[in-house]
Amino acid sequence: MSTETDGFPPVIAQEIYDGSHAKEYVAPAGGATECAPSGARRCVAADVDHHCAADAPGGVHALPRAAPHERTSARRGWRNGHRQRHFTTRVGSLELRVPRDRAGLFQPALFARYERSEQAFLAALVEMYVQGVSTRKVTRVVETLCGVSVSASAVSAVVKKLDAEVTAWRTRDLGGEAYPHLVLDAQYEQVRREGQVRSTAMLWAIGIRADGYREHLGSWLGASESLESWTMVFEDLVRRGLRGVRYAVSDEHQGLVLALRRFFPEAAHQRCQVHYLRNALSRVSARGAQEQLLAALRDVWAAPSRVAAEGRLAQLVAAVRKRVPPLASWLEETGPATLEFFALAAPIQRRLASTNSIELDHAELRRRTRVIRIFPNEASLLRLGTALAMERNEVWSVRRYFNPKETILAVTQGRLRLRRSA
């Protein structure tokens, strides 16, 4: 029979096989724990002896051990006291005094067999956090299921292990691949920073490749959707290899539009029709007038061509000017900004006329942040938001958003026109 068992050093395995100390290593059936502490301590003690002793060619029993304080050329280490270790097993919790060596290299083989389970347990903690369970609720779940207490600070420490993966994803090279279409938006969350609870913008950018697949290109935080914030976003994307942008859809934020014009001057900018409707309806109070305005704007956008849409918009402005002159002036000035989607091929116009494709991500983040309410710092918001974006990319990687043939832009006069913002 082999003397290699469950990761124990051969010297310990041989003692277990011989039966000389078997009762100290294994708790009896029924879950009694009287023998477990002494067995575990003997396992660890023999393990450190094995670590410090020299290797020998004569097998397990020929393994020489240096006597205490004996200095030989074959010795590989020296003991250096103990440290306390709380060890939870299926038969109860143990308090062990784990030996240390001077070089700090000794790791008990007794614990190695449990490391995989521990990693799975830590992964479960992280998954609960990503799914929106607060750190304090995680502690209650663990205590109920496992019978052990895990503090909220300990859960936070575990979750921070996501940071390396999150950073690698946020700084990944985009490979110089063309992303003809961009969907840009932001979501505001409450974050404790600068000693106060402040509204902080989570900035999103979704890129759609020519082959029809889409992905989150990154995640960023900003105090607001200012020129400085979006400049930071586009600088990062260009540095990582973003190119070929010909069309972008977003809400009407002056800072975003100016930054887009600076980095991608040839790209057309479509003002999100959903946001535009909200802005338009807020300018009239009567319910009947709101319904008429809603129907009229939808009729403009349902036109078969941009020329026809511009004609319908002009008729709407003329009709409204008689009753609400300020609204008419606003529609005349801002309406053309919502017609850039006509530059796209007909099958994909409706999908990229608004930022609806990113609204599901907003909803998922809100569902999770509803539990948290106020993030303790910016890093925690960035960590959660990025983890969700990474999950979405995994889902999108197996299904195209567009048929590649549909992503061919219907370019008028050889190029798309970037509109001038109001």
User: What is the distance, to the nearest Å, from the Cα of residue 284 to the centroid of all Cα atoms in its chain?
Assistant: 40
267-285 confidence digits (pLDDT tens): 999 999 999 999 999 999 8
202-225 confidence digits (pLDDT tens): 999 999 998 889 999 999 999 889
Give the containing element (helix H, strand E) for 214: strand 214-222
**pLDDT for position 93:** 62
28 versus 296: the higher-pLDDT residue is 296
pLDDT tier at 42, thresholds 50, 70, 90: low
**pLDDT for position 291:** 93
**pTM for the full model?**
0.65
Q: Is there a contact between 354 and 249 (Cβ–Cβ < 8 Å)?
A: yes
155-164 confidence digits (pLDDT tens): 666 666 778 8
**Of the given ranges (3-12, 284-293, 351-360, 395-404), which has the lowest mean pLDDT?**
3-12
Find all residues with CB under 8 Å of 321, minimum gap 6, and list them: 328, 329
Answer yes or no: is pLDDT of 30 > 50.
Answer: no
pLDDT tier at 175, thresholds 50, 70, 90: confident
Percent of the chain with pLDDT over 70: 60
Amino acid at 332: E
Token pair 């799914």 is found at 131
281-322 confidence digits (pLDDT tens): 999 988 999 999 999 999 999 999 999 999 999 999 999 998
Which residue in 16, 106, 90 sits closest to 98, CA to CA? 106
Q: Is there a contact between 54 and 70 (Cβ–Cβ < 8 Å)?
A: no
223 versus 365: the higher-pLDDT residue is 223
